[in-house]
Amino acid sequence: MHDPLATLIDCWKAHPSSTYNTWFLWDQRIKNFRSIRRGIAQVVEDIRGGTFGNAYRGSSLETIVGSVAEQRQIFKGADHAFLWKPKLRIPDIYENTSNQRAFADLLHTCDHCDCAEDVVAAIQRIDAIGIKGLGPAVANLLYFIHPTLVSPFNTAIVNGFNAVTGGRVKLGRWDHYLSMREGLLRLNARYRLKLSNDLGAIAGLMFDIGSGRYEAPPQAMDVAATALWQEDLERVRQESTALQRELSQATESDATHTGVQASLRDLGKALGFEVWIASNDRGRAYGGGLLGDGCMAQLPASLDRGLESVRLIDVVWVDPQTSQFAAAFEVEHTTSIYSGIVRMLDLALGTPVAGNCALFLVAPDNRRDKVAEQLQRPAFSRVSELGIRYLPYSELEQNHASMSRFGSSIKPMLEISQRL
């Protein structure tokens, strides 16, 4: 029997500018999970340590929510629910320390449990407290802790779910969110072979339907309704030129990021270092081969196995004599600078082979101010001790040949980079 929702899912996955292709399959999405989760732990630490303060601006929460909001269109506006609205005094987690601690307990519990029952129980506990203005938007943080148990949440996702299921889920209520979550889990189980265990996939489908890019299958599948729906589906297949241009620009951005990684790879080899390429990037095609060709297959055995984020650092140079990390590079072409900084902190503060490793944020020349702004956040107070440096694209390009030919250490990299 023909299943119209299955047909829609196939069309959605095949369309190059669907959320499935532009966000769910985006490699940076997975790459940022670790750093966002670490940021959530920092919020808990600040609240419990009494250093969180009474304002959203400048807090560790602003930093991490900002990073989530940069996760492309599906999370655009994720920070709105956390912005302090003084006239309404919401969300009431800035001036009320008891509410702050309850919020921290929710995040901590979810970060340290591994089953759906515990996550739901934690949500129900904070719902029972009734903190004014603190609602299901928090699920956008919990998703990055438990992507197989918690679905993202926003207006478009709710609208899409209601359109597909005929539900009446309302915004702003935890009980309605939990009801929607159960419905999404049932839908996901039914179409799992087409979707994923990660609830980001089905949430992305609901988002695209709820934002009007795709029409949901009619609830009553009569001939006329089916014909109209199929016309709408065809309209989506013939997406506008603007959307295609957007996808093309994103592809060009990824290509630039890969090109800079390759440049650092080749320079590191020329200077006599062994080179590590991020584990999720090494299989990328580049220059007739793969980005990871000729690079290390694994990091030094003394690396703490718990710090998976270190393996996601874009490029690392390792001294072949001592197996010590000599330099680490995060290429921040258009993605969140925050995530790269967190991976650097994981390397410098959590691994025994970091030693005197030089740390570089490599970014376009016009992103210097953005890099400086991120490094000055209170959440990164330890960064100044580590000496993370900014390396502009132009300096790397202009000096690459001479450093490859005459260099023998990382000293030239220190000379062409900037301490911020």
Query: Domain check: are 59 and 83 in the same one?
Result: yes
Residue pLDDT tens, the chain, 420 long: 578 899 999 999 998 889 999 899 987 788 788 888 989 999 999 999 999 988 898 899 998 898 888 877 788 888 889 998 988 889 999 999 999 999 999 999 999 998 998 999 999 899 888 899 999 999 999 999 999 999 999 999 999 998 998 888 888 889 889 989 989 999 999 999 999 999 999 999 999 999 998 988 876 555 554 555 456 445 545 543 444 454 445 445 556 888 999 999 999 999 999 999 998 888 888 888 889 999 998 887 666 554 677 888 999 999 998 888 899 999 986 556 777 777 888 787 766 656 678 999 998 888 888 777 777 776 676 666 778 889 999 999 999 999 988 877 888 899 999 887
Q: Residues 6 or more apart from 413 whose CB is under 8 A from it?
A: 327, 358, 360, 391, 403
Query: Domain check: are 309 and 202 in the same one?
Result: no
| Residue 251: Cβ within 10 Å count | 11
Is the whole model's pTM more than 0.75, yes or no? no
Residue whose C-alpha is closest to residue 18's, from 167, 213, 258: 213
Query: What is the DSSP code (8-state) at residue 372?
Result: H
Cβ proximity of 103 and 82 under 8 Å: no
Place of tokens 């320079």: 267
3-state class (DSSP) for residue 385: helix
3-state class (DSSP) for residue 290: strand
Evaluate whether residue 241 is within a structural domain.
no
Evaluate whether residue 242 is within a structural domain.
no
Place of tokens 């599948």: 221
Evaluate whether residue 364 is within a structural domain.
yes
Evaluate whether residue 143 is within a structural domain.
yes
Query: Domain check: are 298 and 413 in the same one?
Result: yes
Domain assignment of residue 33, given as a range: 4-236
